[in-house]
Amino acid sequence: MPAGLSSHHVLDNVTAVVSPRRVIGILGPNGSGKTTLLRLLSGTRRPASGEVSLDGTPLHRLSRRAVARRIAVVAQETQLTFEYSVMEMVLMGRHPHLGMFELEGPRDFMVARDALRATGTADLERRQFNTLSGGEKQRVVIASALAQSSDILLLDEPTASLDLAYQLEVAALISTLNAERGVTIAISTHDLNLAASVCHDLVMLREGRVITTGSVAAVLTPANIRALYDVHADVQVHAESGRLVVVPVARVHAPQ
């Protein structure tokens, strides 16, 4: 999914490629353009110049329904106007596959329950969504995205405001969806260790521009972290997991 993007100084001359069956992390400080990039990739925003394409077809040439059948989005926060059960939330993911005024049928419930099982939330089916914990809500929202039967999943800060246990659960879920279901995933995150544990490739954004892109091992270096966040960090391979671990050491102040 190549994208040459420009959007009124939010993003400037950005090019990113999300390869099939890969997990790509989008890293950057607040205001760097991470969420805007995800919105462009999802087709909910259109670049002022440049183009976002899916398998060689510009997104703006596809209907919203066609895009939704390929790309599912999980926002950072889910605000509901009405009360919904968990099953009702997940069935919302089936809307791109239904005709006008068509109600969900047995296949839609089957797909929804499969999505609940995949996210470990099958036992929550009859619960009201607003009674769930933060981690449970996040997994149910991901289940709704899975119910779209899309092969591309875009996640905006999926572990924000979650405690450590739920962060680990969501990270494991992302890895499972990619490894076992072949879902292509793009994640916007501040969590460098999450990115190191679940991503194959990284894009570093600062002030709307790409600092660097590439594999996790090539990109997640002390020099790049310093350029991105003005932070001195120690980056090492964890002996037990074999993954890179980032330990922030000190804020680096630019010379006056």
Q: How many domains does the chain have?
A: 1
Domain span at 221: 2-251
Distance separating alpha carbons of residues 164 and 82, to the nearest angstrom: 29
DSSP states of 31-65: TSSHHHHHHHHHTSS--SEEEEEETTEEGGGS-HH
Q: Please tell me the predicted confidence (pLDDT) of residue 129.
A: 93
Out of 14-18, 166-170, 209-213, the most confident range is: 209-213
Q: Please tell me the predicted confidence (pLDDT) of residue 57.
A: 93
Q: Which long-range contacts (CB under 8 A, 24 or more apart) does 208-213 make?
A: 208/9, 208/10, 208/11, 208/12, 208/14, 208/32, 208/33, 209/11, 209/12, 209/13, 209/14, 210/14, 210/15, 210/16, 213/16
Query: Residue 9 domain-assigned?
Result: yes
Residues 76-107: pLDDT tens digits? 776 666 789 999 999 999 999 888 878 889 99
Give the C-alpha distances (Å, rounded to integers) separating 139 from 36, 43, 133, 172, 174: 23, 23, 10, 11, 10
* pTM for this predicted structure: 0.88
Which one has a higher pLDDT value, 2 or 179?
A: 179
pLDDT > 70: percent of the chain: 93
- Cα-based torsion angle of the residue sequence 191, 194, 200, 206 in order, rounded to the nearest 10 degrees: 0
pLDDT over threshold 80, residue 246? yes
Which one has a higher pLDDT value, 148 or 4?
A: 148
Q: Please tell me the predicted confidence (pLDDT) of residue 100.
A: 81
Residues 169-208: pLDDT tens digits? 899 999 999 999 999 999 999 899 999 999 999 999 999 9
Query: Residue 256 domain-assigned?
Result: no
β-pairing verdict for 71-74 and 152-156: parallel
Query: Residue 222 sits in a domain of what CATH number?
Result: 3.40.50.300
Those residues with Cβ within 8 angstroms of residue 13's Cβ, 6 or more apart along the chain or in another chain: 4, 6, 209
How does residue 163 score in pLDDT terms, banded at 50, 70 and 90?
Answer: confident
Mean pLDDT, the chain, as a whole number? 89
Query: Residue 127 domain-assigned?
Result: yes
At what angle are helices 106-118 and 164-181 packed, to 10 degrees? 120
